[in-house]
Amino acid sequence: MRLLVGVLLLFLGTVSAKAESHIELLNATLVAKFHFAEEASDGQMVGAYQVSFRNNGDTPLSTLSLLLNPGLTVEKVVGPGGKMLKTKSRMTPVQGFDYLELNQVEVALTRPMLKNRIRREIVVHYRGYLEDLSKTGLVGVKETLHPDFTMIRAQSFGYPVFADADRLSIQEAWTHKPFYQVAFLDIPGLNTVVGDLKIAQKTTDGDITKFEMKSEQPTGLMSLAIGPYQQSPTDIIAIAKLAGRPDPTELKLATEDQAAILEDWLGPLPSGRRLTLVMTPEGFNSMRSGSSLFLPPNAMSPASGKASVKQALFSLWRTNTEARPNHWANGLDNVLWSLVHDGEIWTNSRAALFDATKSGLSSFDKLHKTSIADFVVEGMEAAQEPVSALAFAALHDLLGPDEFFALVRGLRADLSVGYADMLSVADYLDRHIKDKKARRFANNWFSRGRIGKDMAKASSFDELVALYR
């Protein structure tokens, strides 16, 4: 979570420059066959990556930039109606990395894509091997097509990544908002596949095991580990073990209380949603990807891995599960994340939210008299998350934990189906908050535009809450 730092930057205008992607991926299917080998260059994979996408930029889009591992080459790109698209490929140094070079492929579209109006689908056919990228600036991304263990993920560019050859563009692509994905993998030998796509079907054909894998809910760019895994029963925290290596059971036991707290506060998870702790060999980086957390041996102990597991667990209960920008629940999710930690983090979060809103009042005149429900209409999207977070934090203190979480459970259930916005939130709070003082605060902030008046009377978070005691 970016709570303490992020809310302060929203109003102060000090957010660093960021590469803006024009591509929003909508769904993707990876079809791949593998030959594994001890030497990287002797391995081989043949893949087809079918992806649908749209242009979410402000100008028409005529070309696409795709990045692949330097050991992989594109054979062809097929567009709508089976039409072959023109491509140009070259090994390109990546800006922001001293030694990293990737295969950059520019794909010319048959006609420009207008903003948000056209959905396109292409199929990228490619083949080759995976080079170890850990020596080129990507620490922990060392997979090759090795028979003992490998990974297929965006971090090693084992399938096409829609980005320019620039560090910021790549980082934005890697953190793409969740979407549905499917993979069909032909794996030689007895290894299995674990990650944030789940096995829907598994069949054996000679010495080849065929895996059909699907995302049970929208997930970030797929990460799949291939190895001799043994999996534990599928409770909220599952384990994918590698024989003869450290076991994360102690880490699981140390974080089960976190899962119990979240379930008590926010209700049970939908059927099938869980966090899998996936062991990796030494030297692979620890990372979270959708519903999986990949952990090398040095991250297996509670001391080293507990914080990562807690964050990954919370993501399963996020209200805004698809990470949509300007979503009504972003502020609420930030508050819930701080409450999970309680203590100093909760205290500091409330203070940071109060200070950020104070700064915003001095920067935006309309903020004084605008209700949270009208922020987006008035062009103040950046204010919605921190100010609504401050409002939800105040409601927590006004109602007390039991009433607050009962309210939140109902709010999440009621607004999770169909379209919802801050006007829907304001209406729900007005109808369901029984405490008169807390309801008056909710109405003043979410519906009546009294934020400026209240903030003028308070010099701290506690003084703001005291206005409605």
DSSP H helices, 188-301, are 249-266
**pLDDT score for 196:** 87
Tell me the residue range of the domain where 362 lies: 323-466
Asked if the model's pLDDT at residue 5 lies above 80, the reply is no
Say if residue 354 is in the same domain as residue 237.
Answer: no
**pLDDT score for 96:** 93
Say if residue 276 is in the same domain as residue 335.
Answer: no
**pLDDT score for 247:** 78
The verdict on residue 312 lying in a domain is yes
CATH number, domain with residue 445: 1.10.390
The verdict on residue 92 lying in a domain is no
Say if residue 370 is in the same domain as residue 456.
Answer: yes
Domain end, chosen from 317, 350, 380, is at: 317
Of all residues in the chain, what percent carry a pLDDT higher than 70? 95
Say if residue 312 is in the same domain as residue 365.
Answer: no
For residues 105-129, average pLDDT: 90
Per the CB < 8 A criterion, the answer to whether 371 and 446 are in contact is: yes
**pLDDT score for 21:** 59
For residues 314-318, average pLDDT: 90
CATH number, domain with residue 244: 3.30.2010.30
The verdict on residue 158 lying in a domain is no
* Number of domains, the chain: 2
Per the CB < 8 A criterion, the answer to whether 467 and 457 are in contact is: yes
Tell me which of 352 and 11 has the higher pLDDT.
352
Say if residue 395 is in the same domain as residue 457.
Answer: yes
Say if residue 263 is in the same domain as residue 359.
Answer: no
Compute the distance between CA of residue 446 and CA of residue 331 in angstroms, rounded to an integer: 13
Say if residue 429 is in the same domain as residue 391.
Answer: yes
For residues 167-192, average pLDDT: 94
- pLDDT tens, position by position, 287-307: 777 789 999 988 888 888 888
Mean pLDDT estimate for the chain: 90
The verdict on residue 377 lying in a domain is yes
The verdict on residue 234 lying in a domain is yes
The verdict on residue 303 lying in a domain is yes
Say if residue 395 is in the same domain as residue 294.
Answer: no
pLDDT band at 441 (very low <50, low <70, confident <90, very high): very high
Asked if the model's pLDDT at residue 1 lies above 80, the reply is no
The verdict on residue 256 lying in a domain is yes
Asked if the model's pLDDT at residue 364 lies above 80, the reply is no
* Cβ-based neighbours of 54, under 8 Å, separated by 6 or more: 23, 24, 26, 113, 116, 118, 119, 120
The verdict on residue 31 lying in a domain is no
For residues 391-399, average pLDDT: 97
Say if residue 331 is in the same domain as residue 453.
Answer: yes
For residues 239-254, average pLDDT: 85
Domain end, chosen from 317, 338, 361, is at: 317
Domain end, chosen from 276, 300, 317, is at: 317
Least reliable range by pLDDT among 88-92, 249-253, 359-363, 457-461: 359-363
Compute the distance between CA of residue 218 and CA of residue 290 in angstroms, rounded to an integer: 8
* Cβ-based neighbours of 379, under 8 Å, separated by 6 or more: none
Asked if the model's pLDDT at residue 370 lies above 80, the reply is yes
Per the CB < 8 A criterion, the answer to whether 200 and 48 are in contact is: no
